[in-house]
Chains A and B, each alone.
Chain A
Amino acid sequence: MDWDQLELHPRIISAVRRCALSVRAVLCLSAPDLQRLSGLSRSDTQQLLTAAATACRRHAPLPALLSRGLQSSLRLSVGCPILDELLRGGLPAEGVTELSGESGAGKTQLALQVCLSVQYPTQYGGLNAGAVFISTEDSFPVRRLQQLIRGQSCLRSDVPPSLISSLNFSDRVYIEHAADLASLQECVSRRVPLLLARGLVRLVVVDSVAALFRSDFLASDWLERNRQLLTFSAALHHLSREYSTPVLCINQVTDVFSSSDSLVPSSSTGTPTVAPALGLAWANQVMVRLMMWRLQGTVSRGDQSSAPRRLQVVFAPHLARGGRGAGVWREGVRGLTETV
């Protein structure tokens, strides 16, 4: 943003240019400081600040009724009506959703399913675009993705089969590998915005967030780790808001030894003795937090059987705390109708 674009008296602009201040830097100074630096009078300084503020703000306060257009009230369906009901429509289009759980709980399965459901048109709960899957741990499970694609007509009975066969699912899932933090940051700040800007994708999945942050740092380096984590999370938020894209982050869990802190409720029934990894710093950045567990026993459907899972809402601004049972089948993750 240049000073010439603002409507200011030339005298004020030249004074500001003399102190080499950018428009954003001017707002970070207090009025007396600015007066001293620029040598302008008090009223001139006020004018300067007002012009800079008007240039930096996105829009004036709008009635919430009208901001329905601004804020995307779209939801991305996860592919199963029972789980969508738990999420009141699906993943919110602007904001970071976190899905954590132990290994084998089914997080990657659900993420793959969401990568496919985003490709449907909006009337079927999708966003009519592809997905980018950033994998940090293992190699991407390509065969499982193909199996899910083959099972889409079985999973999505609400969509006409002609539409399903006309969509080329695997073409629109972009896979990125990030082996260390530097390449992860580069991926999120350079390559993914390119895909988003072209409208090719409207879902970003990071599997998993914890892996690189936990492995690259020693326990004593937590300050540096937090700094990197916050930079990464700021990049994700920027992408989510700029392109109105849901971001799904998969997280690992860590053991909880004493639930004496007041962070989470400790219920006597089904007490989780695990908590999402990366601590409070990451928890403050997340808008919707979901957890997935693997339970004992089996459930069966037709000729398939699966260990029952549970998908739980830990916190979200618009969701009640609650959970649904789910099973992982050949065609994907489906919610179970009976309460588990």
Chain B
Amino acid sequence: SHIYKKNHDITKTWKGKSEQLLRVDDHDFTMRPAFGGPAIPVGVDVQVESLDSISEVDMDFTMTLYLRHYWKDERLSFPSTTNKSMTFDGRLVKKIWVPDVFFVHSKRSFIHDTTTDNIMLRVFPDGHVLYSMRVTVTAMCNMDFSRFPLDSQTCSLELESYAYTDEDLMLYWKNGNESLKTDEKISLSQFLIQKFHTTSRLAFYSSTGWYNRLYINFTLRRHIFFFLLQTYFPATLMVMLSWVSFWIDRRAVPARVSLGITTVLTMSTIITGVNASMPRVSYIKAVDIYLWVSFVFVFLSVLEYAAVNYLTTVQERKERKLRERFPCTCGIPHSKTMMLDGNYSESDANSLAGYTRNQMVPEEEKQEKVVVHLTMSNESNSSRKRGLKGHVGLRIIQNTHAIDKYSRLIFPGTYIFFNLIYWSVFS
């Protein structure tokens, strides 16, 4: 009799085993609620815990979120005096039917399982189910780098049922646009998260039909500061350093050449450094434009000095030929002495630093040298006519000075103009 009584007791008590309570044995988890009938609506609610990383090279993002499903399964209803829900262990999920939501375009994902599977199952007496899990998903995001690093990327995470089409399962956002919540301190080091919002659409697969798809969209705006410090500022400094060369005497050949060459080398290193952490895209990025234009400026400063030097040499040769024709003991133009020994000398070729003029210079020579010196320092047309009739050389020397003089204005002016255009276009 008391065996019968025990049976009786079990059916009377409502604090029974969960499986008996939910009648899991009768529950066929392979069949959805209302199998063969109308589509079952499943509400989805998402709370984004964090955006772990955005990878440009792989073009993906990693997000950790709480994903909650809400649906009604009559088979799981149980009698209850209070209307309180009952929370069950996550392992019960294996025995009941749950929606098979997956993340479209995801590369890797997992349900956290420390210390146990992060799964919550809560059943209400009328059969409503709340099923929640904590998931980390890495999903693809097509990024457009044509304005990198002054760009904004729009990425989205897509949820869809894998097996059930529109006719079997209707996926929808439970609270419309408020279904998506984010933790208050969600932030990324390199990006500013502009907004999160939700949308939903239908997706068609030719072999399997129409599916409901839910989207979690967010826009990320990149912080420019790091790239300013890392790339733009060094490039600008290198260009400015190459302008220093115009202010150095054009007779200091090794100095100007090595200054130009070393700035070219540094620009080349900066350019290589930027592309190391970027995907190999087939279009030009905004940072590429800046670096390459700066590289061209630095390159041109080297060419400018080559032109100056070449013209000076040409001028010298002309002068030498002229001297052979017109016998005069003109002092060698000071530019020539510079090239030979690298020392700076005054315009008077006779007073070379480190070399003492001896007194054995014949008076006449000295006088003529003085005359020439005066001529050159005054740079007057008349004296030019007197001493060096038809001599174009002096004018060329004046012109090489002019190239440098003009460069001192043109290069900075053009570079500033380029900067104005660049920052106004891209900001």
Task: Verify that A and B bind, or say they do not.
Answer: no
